[in-house]
Amino acid sequence: MTTTTNQPSSGIMGTLTAGVNRFVRMIGGASMVKFLIRRLLAAIPVLFAIMLVTFTLSHLLPGGPFAAVGQKRMPEYMVRQLEEKFGLNKPLLINTPSDGYFPDGSDWRFMGYRDEVVTLGGTEAGAVQQETRRRFRIDLLDSQFFNYVWGVMQLDFGPSLNIALRDQNVQVSDEISKRLPVSMQVGVFAVILGFLLGIPLGVLAAVYHNSPIDYLSMFFAVLGQATPAIVLAPILIIIFAVELGWVPVADQRNQWQQGPELSLYYLQILALPVVTLGTGMSASIARLTRASLLQVLHEDYVRTARAKGLRERVVIYVHALKNALIPVATILGPLLAAVLTGTFVVELIFVIPGLGKVFVDSVTARDYTMIMGVSILYSIFLIIGNIMVDIMYTWLDPRIRFD
């Protein structure tokens, strides 16, 4: 701030406006901004619906988060206590007068002020100070679902209800921010591998069109598409972990949580999950690259380049490939969705402590808040992926407009 004090504030505003304008132009003009706003606004009801469906589905599951500790059933009074503490005694979707739940013992009102005890400082067991505050409440919405939605709107995803984590008062957002990077490692490296493997394979197939090289690489591409992770992963484990012993079967040093580092061990544990996930991706990228390049090679400007007497290599790599890769870029959006599903599968097979593992565990533990949190995260990724596809298309094809 000190450097800008001698500048008139209008100058700052001017630079700011210019910057905004440049940004708007960069991402495709005012219509694109309008489109983005429309899509983001449209995402809000989608997220609400996803919350509603996930909430309903997860509460349909028989049993609850506090039904048992390990193999033992939890005593009834403790279940009651815990439910009250986490607000699970409230009605599920809406709090109607007949539900009989009134926070301070008074009558059900549609809305109004209610007294609420707020703990100030200290631990939960021994609160240092408590204060009663009057808060405006809508009784109809004083239900588990709307309390959760209200929390989400304040970016509070609630505490995990998992018995194993509950005592440490683990917040869902903390757990997710710990596990998401783990999943991201697998996903990002798999996408990179997919492109590194897929594009050369596709180019090779297109350049040697209708030759044995073409047939072979396309056969491998189809084979890669036809081999699911649950088949590929065990086979890779048998070959590289059991027979050759090059890599450990699973991570034993908690390396996943520590994140990427340039060590042999990291590469070893990374190799198999990434190859499992990346092979399928490279297969579809290879097929797309081949088709796109073949189409481009028949375009007039490529013929012109050849007619000019350019060397075949220059024609392919300078003129054709650059244009052929444009449609390939559009696969990034669907790929994002594939990465989500893919990491899910791969994590369960390779016992990687990522989001997929957390999700399955939370379903088993009836950890409602965690189920909701992970579902919301997945949906956000999916929505962003879908928007990205549409934006890509406009960038690449100026004929598409968002009017």
Q: 119: which strand partners?
A: 130
Q: Are 27 and 19 in contact (CB under 8 A)?
A: no
Q: What is residue 252's three-state secondary structure? A: coil
Q: Is 61 in the site for another protein (CB under 8 A)?
A: yes
Among 27, 33, 46, 310, binds another protein (CB under 8 A): 46
Shortest CB 232 distance to another protein, Å: 9
CA-based R_g, the chain, Å: 28
One-character DSSP codes across 134-180: EEEEEGGG-SHHHHHHHHHHTT---B---HHHHTTT-BHHHHHHHHH
Q: Is 371 in the site for another protein (CB under 8 A)?
A: yes
Q: Is 230 in the site for another protein (CB under 8 A)?
A: yes
Q: What is residue 308's three-state secondary structure? A: coil
Q: Is 365 in the site for another protein (CB under 8 A)?
A: no
Among 205, 229, 339, 365, binds another protein (CB under 8 A): 229
Nearer to another protein, 108 or 220 (CB): 220
Q: 72: which strand partners?
A: 69
Q: Which stretch binds another protein (CB under 8 A): 133-141, 144-152, 165-173, 225-233?
A: 225-233
Q: What is residue 108's three-state secondary structure? A: coil
Ramachandran region, residue 158 (left: φ > 0; alpha: ψ -120 to 50; beta: rest): left
Q: Is 223 in the site for another protein (CB under 8 A)?
A: yes
How far, in Å, CA of 54 to CA of 376, rounded?
9
Shortest CB 162 distance to another protein, Å: 16
Shortest CB 64 distance to another protein, Å: 12
Shortest CB 151 distance to another protein, Å: 20
Both structure tokens of 94: 């809406």
Shortest CB 291 distance to another protein, Å: 4
Q: Which stretch binds another protein (CB under 8 A): 76-84, 178-186, 219-227, 267-275?
A: 219-227
Among 12, 16, 20, 53, binds another protein (CB under 8 A): 53
Phi, psi of 103 (to 5 degrees): -55, -45
> From residue 6 to residue 45, what is the string marking binding to another protein with x (rule CB under 8 A)?
----------------------------x--xx--xxx-x
Nearer to another protein, 281 or 371 (CB): 371
Both structure tokens of 130: 């408590």
Q: Is 374 in the site for another protein (CB under 8 A)?
A: yes
The DSSP element (H or E) to which 131 belongs, if any, is strand 127-138
Q: Where are the alpha helices (DSSP H) in 170-263?
A: 172-207, 212-226, 229-236, 255-258
Burial pattern 19-48, b for ≥16 Cβ within 10 A else e, equals eeeeeeeeebeeebeebbeebeeebeeebe
Nearer to another protein, 138 or 222 (CB): 222
How far, in Å, CA of 34 to CA of 41, rounded?
10
Q: Is 225 in the site for another protein (CB under 8 A)?
A: yes
Nearer to another protein, 14 or 228 (CB): 228
Nearer to another protein, 113 or 246 (CB): 246
C-beta atoms surrounding 252 within 10 Å: 9
Binders of another protein among residues 288 to 307 (CB under 8 A) are 288, 291, 294-295
Nearer to another protein, 138 or 235 (CB): 235
Total number of residues that touch another protein (CB under 8 A):
58
Nearer to another protein, 59 or 109 (CB): 59
Among 127, 386, 388, 393, binds another protein (CB under 8 A): 386
Residue 137 makes CB contacts below 8 A (sequence gap 6+) with 103, 111, 112, 113, 114
Chain residues that interact with another protein, rule: CB under 8 A: 34, 37-38, 41-43, 45-47, 49-50, 53-54, 57-58, 60-63, 222-223, 225-231, 234-235, 237-238, 241-242, 249, 287-288, 291, 294-295, 340-341, 344-345, 348-349, 359-360, 363, 371, 374-375, 378-379, 382-383, 386, 403
